[in-house]
Amino acid sequence: MSAAQLVSLTLALLAGAVTLLGLVIVMGRALHRYRDRRNARLSAGVRPLLLELIGGDSGEEVSEPLIRLATLNRRVWRAVEPGAISLLAKVSGNARTALVRLLEQRGLARDALRDLSRFSAVRRASAAHVLGMLGHAEAALPLVRLLSDRNAEVRATAVRALGQIGTAGAASPIISMAGGRAPFQLVAQALIRLGPGARPALVEALSHDDPAARAVAVEVLGLTGAVETAGALVGVLAGDPSSDVQVRAARALGRLGTPVCLNALIHATGPAHRYAVRVEAATALGDLGSPRAVPALRDLLADPRYHVAHSAARSLSRLGRPAAAALTETIAERAGTPAASHAWEALALQDLQAGRPLRLPEAAPR
Amino acid sequence: MSAAATVAGLLAGLEAPDAPGVLAAGAAQSAGEILDAVREGARWTLMAISAIVLVYSVSINTSYLLLIFLATWDAVHHHRRVSFSTEEDLYSNPLTPPVTVIMPAYNEEAGIAEAVRSMLSMRYPTFEVIVVDDGSKDGTFERLREEHNLVELPRVVPDDIPMRGTVLSTHVPANGSTPLLVIRKTNSGRADALNVGINFARHPLVCMVDADSLLDPSALLLVAKPFADDPMNVVATGGVVRIVNDCDVVGGRVARVRMPRRWLVRIQVMEYLRAFLLGRTGWSRLGGLLIISGAFGLFRRDVLVEVGGLDPDSIGEDAELVTRLHRYLREGGRDYRIVFVSEPVSWTEAPSSAAVLARQRRRWSRGLAELLWKHRTMIANPRYGRIGVLTLPYFVLFELLAPVVNLGGVALVPIALWAGAINMDFALALLVASFGYAVLVGFVALAVEEYAFRRYNSWRDLGVAAVASVAENFGYRQFNAWWGLQGIFAALRRTKQVWGVMTREGFSTPGRPAGGKKG
């Protein structure tokens, strides 16, 4: 083949490829629009039935729309199904029970259980998602097995589904997913949904080798108000090798708010602790809300590290009159120092929250 | 080398000169023969350079195509997971990390109130907005004071990151509940204003946005998702920047996406799609993302403090920051991820006149040249992983040097034709093939947009996008190369850095004429 022929062939191929791509784009858009219009038309007639189903209070009110929806022909149901599944996340009580009944009658749970072992990762993830939305308890075991799936998306969906189903026994395998096997926030949310039944596994995880597992356990114990575990969390705050885990422990103790938390947090604001831990401990003392923290926080206003002093000031602004008195004293005793400036800021914040005119230092520019 | 030689042979076409022309010079006896030999040598040199230009053109478009294919993988993945992944997970999750949004503002009187209002209505569990008024000479601050009933709240100025400007005052809304802080400072440039904002930020994540950008309502939620998913490793994420010109904006939100009216902006829409959306998604997939746009980036505050914030001396401070993050974290042997998220969108106004576009492109090119020079020890250095051995060499070859090679090609082809180094018909055919390849790349990008994102809904917009993909190759790219070359020369001469004035037309609100503004 000569050079001229080669160039001509290249040109022809390029022209063909551009034309083909143009057609693919146009056909794709046309097809998409056609499907959207068809699905909208098909589901429009059925939507009132769905609303009737989730709006019904008694069994009688629900039975007719349930029968009609359960016997819809397959073509129409396929247009309605995605909307019905997404409705599950938006309703509760009787409405949810009726919707779950409908979806189970349509064979969704059965199909999803079968799809958990499909070759396609998208099918497996979608199946796990549906089972979680339905709260299908029988799916717990296969979903736990899915936690070791090769596909990250499938593992993530299985974690969420187990949380939705509420299988407390799955807590340990879910915790072990925190170290990069599944999204951290999904693991935490699933564990929160499992409730008090997951606490023994969470306490055990406080001594896990993986800092991510310890971090998620600390967060969930704090967020679920597990006051009986405060002692264990104090131990984490004092001695965990990861500063990230210590920071989370300080935050968790601030949420729990027991006396043992107060002393541990005050101790954690000391200079022997890492900067990030001290900042979080000062913030947590504000969350905890005890006036007993005021003297320690007042001392922290003079801390040379900005964020320690600033967090202490913000915490004091939340502690009412005892804090206001301490702030006024600081202004008088330490006039002209950064501590006094932090105190002014805290007082101004109190004024803002109370809707009063702001007290400002005389030197402040207006 | 062999590819270039093959193409040189092709370029010679049907009238190839004698191959041993240069060697023949050695045997020449008379002055005429020597002159012929020199001419022959020049012809071969021109042919070789033309061949290099051609190989370069094919390589650069192939690299775009590869990046787009990588991005397509990501887009397909995103598209498939939509049915079983909801934003609600993140919105309702108590572990979603709080964010401080920092908006540096300089003479943004026309749009600042709407931009801040839009930012405050973002869908995100916990966040604060810090506006840093960088010594504006217009009524930027007054507009904010009126809008939010600001009162002065003196703050101790934090000093985690060194600052050049002086903080004059700090203000908060009188209602005590709106999470807004306005800082007034002396003018010291965008990078320093951002550093001031980082110092004042209370939350662990810092989002940098331009005061003239509009974010999709759930943009913050989606760009923060990688941090919530992998809090130990993710240090920065970047979101997509799209062009807002002539879109309908209602209440600080893009209500209807349209193709702009001017062809110059339409071409930029396609350029942003190919280079910024798909190109960066491709780099992110390779683990070699170098640029997070200053118009929309989210960073871990503690890591920003560790690296000393943005470099106020850099004119391309966004890319410089990300490069420095890579450098610092690699040198520290830390595991980290910098991620590009292809779906949340920040909308920004693109230059609608050639003069403003020229200033912008000179600045980008100069910023890149200075960045690559500053971090030259990272280039081709395996110590810096994919950034060192892949991304930075690519940026040197296909981003920094692209204007040089493109304009070199434009200048050399007429000379080569005049010298008879290449055949006219053949050169024309190759030129068309080269443009055809670039058009193909544009169409592939358009196909990905259509299947994965589908932002432009009307048939007319689709047609305009297709024409813009073609038109980009005729004039726009060549002018871009010229401006890029000017930027490189400015970097070499180390002339004074000037950000330049971006003339804005304002957002297009249905039923209301767009207001002009300068920022």
The pLDDT tens digits of the residues spanning B336-381 come to: 999 988 776 788 889 999 999 999 999 999 999 999 999 999 999 9
Any idea of the CA torsion for A72, A73, A75, A76, to the nearest 10 degrees? -30
Q: Check CB contact of A20 with chain B, cutoff 8 Å.
A: no
Joined tokens for residue B192:
């320093």
- Do A130 and A85 meet the contact criterion of CB atoms below 8 Å apart? yes
User: In the prediction, which pLDDT does B7 show?
Assistant: 47
Q: Chain B within 8 Å of A15 (Cβ-Cβ)?
A: yes
- CB B88 to CB A366 under 8 A? no
Average pLDDT, chain B: 84
C-beta atoms of A4 and B14 within 8 A? yes
pLDDT at A94: 83
pLDDT tens for A135-181 read 999 999 999 999 999 988 899 999 999 999 998 889 999 999 998 88
A153 contacts on B by Cβ (under 8 Å): 77, 81, 84-85
Of B89, B154, B229, which has the smallest distance from its Cβ to A361's Cβ? B154
pLDDT band at B181 (very low <50, low <70, confident <90, very high): very high
Please report where in the chains the tokens 């910098």 appear, as a residue. B338
Contact list in A for residue B153 (CB cut-off 8 A) is 345, 348-349, 352, 358
Report the CATH number of the B62-97+204-400 domain. Answer: 3.90.550
**A366 reaches B (C-beta below 8 A):** yes
For B135, phi then psi, to 5°, come to 70, 40
The sign of the CA dihedral B90, B94, B96, B99 is positive
Q: How far is A365 from chain B (nearest CA, A)?
A: 7
Among partner residues A14, A223, A366, which is closest to B433 by beta-carbon distance?
A14
Residue B389 — very low, low, confident or very high, per pLDDT cuts 50/70/90?
very high
- Asked whether the predicted pLDDT for residue B3 surpasses 50, the reply is no
Q: Is B21 exposed, middle or buried (0-12, 13-18, 19+ CB in 10 A)?
A: middle
Distance from CA of B262 to the nearest CA of A (A): 23
Tell me which residue has tokens 């029968």. A67
Domain ranges across chain B: 62-97+204-400
Residues B89, A185: C-beta atoms closer than 8 Å: yes
* Residue A314 predicted with pLDDT over 50: yes
CB contact under 8 Å between A310 and B156, yes or no, is: yes
pLDDT of residue B497: 63
Question: What are the beta bridge partners of residue B248?
Answer: B256, B508
Structure tokens at B148: 């939010």
pLDDT-derived band at B25, boundaries 50, 70, 90:
very low
Q: How far apart are CA B479 and CA A152, in angstroms?
A: 45
- 3-state SS, one letter per residue, for A263-328: HHHHHHCCCCCCHHHHHHHHHHHHHHCCHHHHHHHHHHCCCCCHHHHHHHHHHHCCCHHHHHHHHH
| CA gap B229, A178 in Å, rounded | 9
Q: Find, in chain A, the residue whose alpha carbon is nearest to that of B445.
A: A21
Residues 6+ apart with CB under 8 A from B471: B263, B266, B267
Given B159, B228, B433, which is nearest A184 (Cβ)? Answer: B228
- State residue B151 phi and psi, 5-degree precision: -125, 155
What's the whole-number mean pLDDT along residues B473-489? 92
Percentage of residues in chain A with pLDDT exceeding 70?
Answer: 96
pLDDT given at position A343 = 94
Of A212, A355, A366, the CB nearest to B152: A366
Task: Write the residue in A8, A28, A360 that is nearest to B450 by C-beta.
Answer: A28
pLDDT digits 0-9 by tens, A233-277:
999 999 899 999 999 999 999 999 888 899 999 999 999 999 999
The amino acid present at A17, given as its one-letter code, is A
The candidate with the shortest Cα–Cα distance to A249, out of A237, A235, A265, is: A237
B106 DSSP 8-state letter: S
* Average pLDDT over every residue of A49-71: 78
| Contact with chain B for residue A190, Cβ under 8 A | no
Residue B18's φ and ψ, nearest 5 degrees, are -65, 130
